[in-house]
Structure 1
Amino acid sequence: MKLKTAKRWFNWHKWTSLICTVFLLYLCITGLPLIFHEEIEHLLQGNKEAVVQNHAKMSLDKLAQIAESKYPGEKARYVFWDENEKNKVLFDIVDRPDAPYEKSKYLVLNEYTGEILGAPRTDGIMNVILKLHTDMFLGIPGKLFLGIMGILFMISIISGIVLYGPIMKKYDFGMVRKNRSSRLRWLDTHNLLGIAITAWMLVVGFTGVINTLSDVIVGLWQQGQLAEMTAPYKNQKPISGKLSSLDDAKKSAENAIKDMKVAVIAFPGTDFTSKHHYAVFMRGNTELTSKLLKPVLIDAATGTVTDSRDMPWYVNALFISEPLHFGNYGGMVLKIIWVIFDVFTILVLITGLYLWIARRKAEKQQLQLLIPKNSKA
């Protein structure tokens, strides 16, 4: 590599790393507990187990009535099924379908008995850490800012790879010069750790950038595919009177998409459907397809299916990226691997910061040594 080119890559690596290092340390530290967020939330929430009795599940409409009765004057707007919480259903209760999500009241019910098993907290420590990690409590601007930091992180990784190759032609791979100065030992350690976990850092960095675009991606889907699916109802008056059966909507979706199961039902008037439809989101049965959703629109007046389409590629990219970012694919083993790599990344960031400070300090000392000599001359 030519000297001029190498210097250009070095400057890219140095400045992109310096700009994003503090924020990446912040993200790595807040990301550590989020790798185990499901296990931690299960311990903290303290919800009861759903006892299965020798009879069929209760009507979904009846379960919705039980949930709504706890908050008079308010209605369900979303119904959730967690694949890891068997025999349970979660209701989101609000005073109006377009209410801010901060106004949601959540209730977990036993699908067989209707017993209320708990009310998940939205102000717990894990939710605070999640907000810190995703948007720093700054909303969309916070997400986009962290997305820019993620892009700088990826540039620093790529430039580091470009620089590492020519350097290691002169030395053995993984070399750490233990008999040289402290700064050289830290430099070799920084390079070794960085190149060893490069693939992981690229995956987590790339998926992190995609996750910061979640609001943009959802907005594109709402204005694109969802608008197309609901276009025939655009000029119709909102449904007056009672909505069709929630159970019928669920059964219609299951009959339309037989190789998938229901994950979420959105009521008419919410952000993920129209004022005329239930939106039933189906998930697959495999480890990968269980992270993907397929919408089925149900006419809320008649209970019939009006449209169903596969999500666009950019929405599926978001669905895949979020669990992959936190290692939520291969069970506990993958999560432990994610923790190890996260800790190594913290070490790479700290050693990189140390090397910059040490280099600045050395340059300052050299300048101080030169000044007296020049003054005597």
Structure 2
Amino acid sequence: MKSIDIKKLYFIHSWVGLITGILLFVIAFTGALSVFGRPEIKIWANPEIRGEINIDKNAIERLVAEQAAVLPAAYREEILIFLPGARSFPNLTLFFENHEAQQAVLLTFDNDTLELIAKKEGDTQTVFSGNKTDIADFIVDFHADLHLGRPVGLLLTGLLGLTLMASIVTGFIIHRQKLKQLFTFRFKKTFDITLADSHKLFGVWGMIFNGVIAFSGAFLGLATVLLIPAAAFVSFNGDQEKLIETFTTTPEPVLAEIFMPTKIAPALEHIYAYDSDMTPEVVTIYGYNDENAVIYISAVGSEAVARQIFQYQGGSGAFTEAFGQFGKVGGFSTAVLDLMFPLHFGNFGGAFVKLIWAILGLSTALLPLSGMMLWIERGQKSASPTYPKSTYARFNRLVIGTCGGVVLACSLLFPTQLILNSLSFTANTAFNFGIVFFSVWLFSIVFAFISKRIKTAATYICFAIAGVLTVTPFLNIILTGDNLISMLFNKQWAAGITDVALLSFGVLTFMMTRKLSKASKNANNKADTKADSNVDNNALINSDIQDQKA
């Protein structure tokens, strides 16, 4: 490729990174956290589901029958049973919907006694609004749409996925010595050389992963906003409902209008015995107590990459078939659709795959960060910079404040969760998380700009992150009574490992920050000593010149 073309691509690569770099870091970092959002962080955030939950299957069947009996027949057309767990609700929850009147009833029960805890009635949006939001919900939703909602938030994150793909392609082309760059990391050289090597390592080693994340993220962000309307326009004359109906693998049956009790317990017994590594989440019943009733149970885990749906006959509870979320539609495209969500979040293959996904996700976050820092460092050191030195200094403060601030804000959500739980605070929890998150983030940005030295601001932010992460496990002991030994003894693996991870990252962040702070001070002292030495030498030279003149 011609040198002039390389320069054009380098220009595009640089400006795409500078314009979107901060948001890409925010999305990638929260994405790395979201890998463990459900179930690990979700379980940690809800003490009631930290241990194993066993609810008698026959008791669930009786409970559904009791509640259905006191509701009008129209509410039996569709019944949802949310089994308590990390991906649904902390407590057993029943949902009855009247399609014709567009009304619904949401009932929440205690997992141990099955006593009614809460009841909500109204349209579907009303009954699901105002539900308790925990740290896992907040972080995962922030990663998905930056809490800007639909369509703006999804459109923005989808476009960021496309810009990441553009950066990957242009970066791959402009860096020619790819094999050499795979094994080059000169950490003992100057800071700008270390940054350049880091940026290339993150880009080359993580190229395939970053490409998968960028493509799947762009697809998930743009699917409901642009892709579904476009597909409906092309193939279904703009009828989106017809498109969704075509791709629906859990169709409602044609009711026989003949009474036959729906057997829920046998279906639940089957799916729990089918695979011990699979977690059932939601039971959907169409045509309750009708001869043609159908039961669908969605489950995740085991060796299946995509979410699996199990179908049962309502009258007998007999197993019919199992398939992926889009598996029954057929074709290559549906297989790709089934893979999109698992590939983006790494929720397949168990904890080891999740750990790899989280580490690679952090490297994706460091990719734009190292690129922005490299641009700043080169601009500040250049003898003839493109922009005034003050421009690079301000952008440096913005990068430190926003990127360091979002990490600190996410860290503070963990103790916030424990405090809200201890206060039995369930109303407007999303608002409270938002106040803490965005106020801390804003404070970090302001602090970075008003600090006399940006390195000092960065050090304080890192020490604050370390302190919050280190204190959180001890706060968990005080407020919940769950310590590491008791959690592991009671097989509360997710909560115990989360505490260990928080403590480990806190200590590691403290040690690294302290080491880098000392190194920075030593470098400054050497620079000051060298400057003083130069001043003394100049003074001696001037003195000798004066003596010679005399």
Provide the TM-score with structure 2 as the length reference: 0.49
1:221 & 1:315 partners in 2: Cα distance?
Answer: 13
Amino acid at match of 1:321: M
| Cα shift readout 1:335-377 (whole Å, capped 9, x = no counterpart) | 33233223322222211112333455548646889xxxxxxxx
Q: Using the alignment, how far apart are the partners of 1:350 and 1:266 within structure 2?
A: 45
In the alignment, which residue of structure 2 is the partner of 1:47? Answer: 48
The one-letter amino acid of 2:246's match is G
CA contact (8 A) 1:298 1:306 kept: yes
- Looking at structure 2, the residues matched to 226 and 14 of structure 1 have their Cα atoms a distance apart, in angstroms, of 43
What is the CA-CA distance between 1:191 and the residue it aligns to?
1.0
- AA in 2 matched with 1:28: A
What is residue 208 of structure 1 aligned with on the other side?
Answer: 217
Residue type matched to 2:344 in 1? Answer: H
Q: Is residue 134 of structure 1 aligned with residue 114 of structure 2?
A: no
Distance 1:132 1:249, change over 3 A: same
1:50 and 1:117 in contact (8 A); partners too = no
Report how far residue 62 of structure 1 moved.
Answer: 0.9
Task: Give the Cα–Cα distance (whole angstroms) in 2 for the partners of residues 70 and 323 of structure 1.
Answer: 40
Q: Per-residue deviation at 1:184?
A: 3.6
1:308-358 Cα distance to aligned partner (Å, 9 max, x none): 983335455344332332232233333332332233222222111123334
C-alpha displacement of 1:150: 0.5
Residue by residue, what CA displacement relative to the aligned partner does 1:262-314 show, whole Å, maximum 9, x if unpaired?
A: 75332449xxxxxx96451455884225x3334748689x9999999833354
What is the identity, as a one-letter code, of the residue corresponding to 2:210? M
Asked if residue 321 in structure 1 is aligned to residue 340 in structure 2, the reply is yes
Match of 1:62 in 2: 62
Match status 1:189 vs 2:191 = no
- Partner in structure 2 of residue 35 of structure 1: 35
Q: CA deviation at 1:108?
A: 6.5
Pairs aligned (count): 345
Q: Percent identity, aligned pairs only? A: 21
- Does structure 1 retain, via aligned residues, the 8 Å contact 2:250–2:296? no
Distance 1:101 1:151 in 2: 39
Q: Distance in 2 between matches of 1:292 and 1:225?
A: 15
Cα distance between partner residues in 2 of 1:225 and 1:367: 53
Distance 1:70 1:41, change over 3 A: farther
Within the alignment, does 1:152 sit opposite 2:163 as a pair? Answer: yes
Task: Give the Cα–Cα distance (whole angstroms) in 1 for the partners of residues 144 and 63 of structure 2.
Answer: 33
1:156 Cα offset (Å): 0.9
Aligned match of 1:340 in 335, 342, 359?
359
User: What is the Cα deviation at residue 175 of structure 1?
Assistant: 2.6
Gap change, CA 1:160 and 1:92, over 3 Å in 2 = farther
Kindly indicate whether the alpha-carbon contact (under 8 Å) linking 1:68 and 1:93 is maintained by their aligned counterparts in 2: no
For 1:169-318, list aligned pairs within 5 A: 173-176=182-185, 182-213=191-222, 215=224, 222-226=244-248, 245-247=261-263, 251=267, 264-268=282-286, 278=294, 280-281=296-297, 286-288=302-304, 291-294=306-309, 296=311, 310-312=327-329, 314-318=333-337
The answer to whether the Cα contact below 8 Å between 1:292 and 1:316 also exists between their aligned partners in 2 is no
Deviation at 1:77, TM superposition (A): 3.1
Q: Secondary structure in 2 aligned to 1:280?
A: strand
Rounded to whole Å, the distance in 2 between the matches of 1:28 and 1:284 is 24
Distance 2:303 2:160 in 1: 30
2:180 corresponds to 1:161: no
Moved more, 202-211 or 291-300: 291-300
- 1:62-88 Cα offsets, whole Å, 9 max, x none, are 132567799999888312457989xx9
- Secondary structure, counterpart of 1:58 in structure 2: helix
On the 8 A contact 2:81/2:95 being kept in 1, the answer is no
What amino acid maps onto 1:162 in structure 2?
I
Q: Is the 8 A contact 2:26 2:365 kept in 1?
A: no
- Hey, what's the Cα distance between the residues in 1 that align with 2:133 and 2:181? 52
Tell whether the 8 Å contact from 1:60 to 1:247 is kept in structure 2 after alignment.
no
Q: Any idea what SS the aligned residue of 1:139 has?
A: coil
Give the corresponding residue for 1:7.
Answer: 7
* Structure 1 residue 243: Cα displacement: 7.4
Q: Is the alpha carbon distance of 1:36 and 1:16 closer, same or farther for their aligned partners in structure 2, counting shifts above 3 Å?
A: same
SS at match of 1:123: coil
Structure 1: gaps (5+ residues): 270-275, 370-377
Separation in 2, partners of 1:285, 1:182: 44
SS for the counterpart of 1:287 is coil
Structure 1 position 27, deviation (Å): 1.2
Pairs within 5 Å for 1:330-369: 330-359=349-378, 362=382, 365=385
TM superposition shift of 1:145: 2.0
1:89 and 1:135 map into 2 onto residues whose CA distance is 27
Q: Which runs of 5+ in 2 are unaligned?
A: 120-127, 229-239, 390-550
Deviations 1:228-280 (A, max 9, x none): 956x95xxxx998x97533269759x79xx999975332449xxxxxx96451
Q: Secondary structure at the match of 2:303?
A: coil
Q: Is the 8 A contact 1:66 1:114 kept in 2?
A: no
| TM-score, with structure 1 as normaliser | 0.68
Structure 2 letter corresponding to 1:211: L
User: Which AA in structure 1 matches 2:30?
Assistant: T
Structure number with the bigger relative contact order (C-alpha 8 A, sep ≥ 6) is: 1
- Flag the 1:368–1:82 CA change in 2: closer, same or farther, 3 A: closer
CA distance in 2, matches of 1:22, 1:140: 21
Whole-angstrom CA distance in 1 between matches of 2:104 and 2:300: 30
Output the CA distance in 1 between the equivalents of 2:169 and 2:103: 39
1:16 and 1:83 map into 2 onto residues whose CA distance is 41
Give the distance between the partners of 1:66 and 1:50, measured in 2 at CA: 26
Q: Is contact 2:301–2:349 with CA below 8 Å preserved after alignment?
A: no
The amino acid of 1:41's aligned partner reads: K
Q: Are 2:42 and 2:136, in contact at CA under 8 Å, matched by a contact in 1? A: yes
CA distance in 2, matches of 1:228, 1:72: 24
